[in-house]
Amino acid sequence: MFPLVDRIESGASEDSMATQRLTKQNAAMISAAVALRADRNADALLLLLDGSTDWKRISELTEANENVVIVAVDTIEDLDGAAEAGLKPLALNKEKAPLLERLQEALLEAAADELIKTNGEVVAVYSGFQQGRLDSISHLQLDERMRRFTVRDLQTLESSVPLKTIKAVVDLASQIGREGREGKAVGTMFVVGDHRRVLEHASDSGADPFRGYNKKHRNILDPKVQEDAKEIAQLDGAFVVTSDGIIERSRQMLEVSHEDLKMTKGLGSRHWAAAAITRKTKAVSVVVSQSTGTVRLYQNGFLILQIVPMDKAIKWQEFAFEPPPQSADEN
């Protein structure tokens, strides 16, 4: 994923807590990270936290008015007041995810929002062993493969589909391509917009798990619906999504002629169908390659954008660690 240039660890944790207490230990770790960022001339400081905290004090400790300081937590509610304090807030929606996945998601979101350069350097501080007590600092050299589709990329599409819908589908497709499901690679397709005409060229490939649910439970902008879609993506067939983000059908087989299409050699039938349906309709197709995890966008029968995922295999340096005794200031 990205090489570790420097890593500093110390400490253990108490019981998990709803908020991130700004103890002497946590403040000291943040100050150490600030010093490392300055020494390395890194592009940004990332604080991966377990909940809300004293954002004003964090801003003072990190000199946020002069530096890019990103604060990442799991829920948007815990970020209340962070932006007003001069910090760059990120909501991860990864509460039960492992540390590495949360850190990776924070870096990806920061790069997608253009808070950091995709080939830049970041100093990150986080709770490496238990919740609540900051104990680890990493100096990270990022890679161009960190790049996600950005709003700027998607604005090049001349489509009647709202930008937020396409971005939500692309982000979901990127997650599927990067993560797969239950350790297995997954390939799938989303056809977005002009859904009535798309369905004229589609037929069921099996029972549709979304059939019968109201629109609220089929809205692809909802994180819970996205998780459901990840499960269904393991099954055959495409998702047909309306312009406003409602999954109209899933598990659809597209029946459309491929004649006169010009495609890159080596792409499978899913990509041919994706390109062909966008030539017959005003839809945009988003395809995840099962073999590589690459995400491709098709419009008017042509490949418009593509993104290659970062390395899927993530390795973290192993080391021995014995927690020091609890200090009085942690009580």
Which CATH number is 216's domain given? 3.40.1700.10
Same domain, 158 and 140: no
Are 292 and 195 in the same domain?
Answer: yes
pLDDT, residue 100, reads: 79
Of the candidate ranges 2-6, 34-38, 186-190, 263-267, the one whose mean pLDDT is the lowest: 2-6
Q: Are residues 76 and 209 in the same domain?
A: no
pLDDT at 310 over 60: no
Report yes or no on 9 lying in a domain: no
One domain, residues 194 and 274 = yes
Residues 215 and 299 in one domain: yes
Residue 131 falls inside a structural domain: yes
pLDDT of residue 179: 83
Could you tell me if residue 87 is inside a domain? yes
Position 286 scores a pLDDT of 94
- Residues 171 and 205 grouped into a single domain: yes
- Whether residue 314 is contained in a domain is answered as no
- Is residue 314 scored above 50 in pLDDT? no
Same domain, 30 and 132: yes
CATH number at residue 41: 3.40.1380.20
Mean of the pLDDT values across residues 33-44?
A: 92
Rounded mean pLDDT, 179-191: 87
262 assigned to some structural domain: yes
Specify if 7 maps to a domain.
Answer: no
Single residue among 119, 146, 173 that ends a domain in this structure: 146
Contact predicate 101/67, CB 8 Å: no
Asked whether residue 163 falls in the same domain as residue 291, the answer is yes
Is the domain of 53 the same as that of 84?
A: yes
* 241-290 confidence digits (pLDDT tens): 999 999 999 999 998 887 777 776 668 889 999 999 999 999 999 999 98
Report how many domains make up the chain. 2
- Residue 62's domain comprises 24-146
In a domain, 187, yes or no: yes
Give yes or no: residues 296 and 190 share one domain. Answer: yes
